[in-house]
Amino acid sequence: MIRFIARINYALHSGTVRIINGIKVKDVDSFFNALDTDKKGSIGKEQLKTGLMKLKVNFPEESLALLMDQLDNDMSGTLVKRELLKWWEQIEVVVAAAKAEQDNRQQERAMAGENASGAKGQRRIRSAASQVVAQLQFIFAGYHNRTLYGKAVKDPVSFFKALDQDGTGQIHASEITAGLKRLDVPVTDGDIQALVEMIDRDGSGEMDIKEMVSWLEYQLVAASVAQQIRDCFEEKRTLFGCEVTDAGSFFEACDLDGSGFLKYEEVTKGFKFMQMSVGFPEMDALLATMGKDRSSLISKEEIVWAVDQKAQWARVKDNFH
Q: Which pairs count as long-range contacts for 104-111, CB under 8 Å and 24+ apart, including other chains?
A: 106/235, 106/237, 106/275, 109/235
The CATH code belonging to domain 128-217 is: 1.10.238.10
Ramachandran angles phi, psi of 260, nearest 5°: 85, 5
pLDDT at 162: 93
Q: What is the pTM of this model?
A: 0.49
Q: Is residue 88's pLDDT more than 70?
A: yes
CATH class as words, domain 221-319: mainly alpha
pLDDT at 262: 92
Q: Is residue 150's pLDDT more than 80?
A: yes
Architecture of the domain whose range is 2-92:
Orthogonal Bundle (1.10)
* Cα–Cα dist 6/143, whole Å: 50
Q: What is the mean pLDDT of residues 59-78?
A: 77
Residues with Cβ < 8 Å from 280, sequence gap 6 or more?
none
pLDDT tens digits, 200-237 = 666 676 778 877 777 776 566 676 677 777 877 887 77
Strand partners, 151: 148
Q: Highest mean pLDDT: which of 48-52, 73-77, 297-301?
A: 297-301
pLDDT at 284: 79
Q: What is the mean pLDDT of residues 3-8?
A: 72
pLDDT at 164: 92
pLDDT at 298: 92
The model's confidence at residue 127, banded by pLDDT at 50, 70 and 90, is: very low
What mean pLDDT, rounded, does the chain reach? 76
Which DSSP state fits 236?
-
Quickly list DSSP for 151-202. EEE-SHHHHHHHH-TT-SSEEEHHHHHHHHHHTT----HHHHHHHHHHH-TT
Integer distance in angstroms from the first to the last C-alpha of the chain? 50
Cβ contact 48:70 at 8 Å = no
Quickly list DSSP for 240-268. TTEEE-SHHHHHHHH-TT--SEE-HHHHH
pLDDT at 93: 62
Q: What is the mean pLDDT of residues 102-112?
A: 59
The 10 Å CB-count burial string (b at 16+, else e) for 47-58 is bbeebbebbebb
pLDDT at 56: 77
Radius of gyration of the CA atoms of the chain, in A? 25
Every domain range in the chain assigned CATH 1.10.238.10 = 2-92, 128-217, 221-319
